[in-house]
Amino acid sequence: MSDPVKNQYEMRDPREQYPKPPFPEQPQSAPGLAQEMTPKPDHGENSYQGFGRLKGRKALITGGDSGIGRAVAIAYAREGADVAINYLPSEEADAQEVIEFIRAAGQKAVAIPGDLKDESFCQELVERTVQELGGLDILVSNAGRQTFQTSIADITTAQFDETFKANVYALFWITKAAVPHMKPGATIITTSSINARQPSETLLDYATTKAAIAAYTQALSGQLAEKGIRANTVAPGPFWTALQPSGGQSQEKVKEFGSDVPLGRPGQPAEIAPIYVLLASQESSFMTGGLFPVTGGELM
What sign has the CA pseudo-torsion 225, 231, 232, 233? negative
* CB 48, CB 8: distance < 8 Å: yes
Sheet holding 187-191, edge to edge: 109-113, 82-87, 58-62, 138-141, 187-191, 230-236, 291-294
Looking at 169, 206, 216, 276, which residue is catalytic? Answer: 206
Q: What are phi and psi of 240, to 5 degrees?
A: -80, 90
Helices (H) and strands (E) in the chain, counts: 8, 7
Per the annotation, the verdict on 87 as an active-site residue is no
Beta-bridge mates of residue 139: 60, 188
How far apart are the C-alpha atoms of 9 and 95, rounded to whole Å?
Answer: 27
- Cα dihedral 194, 2, 274, 176 sign: positive
Positions marked active-site: 206
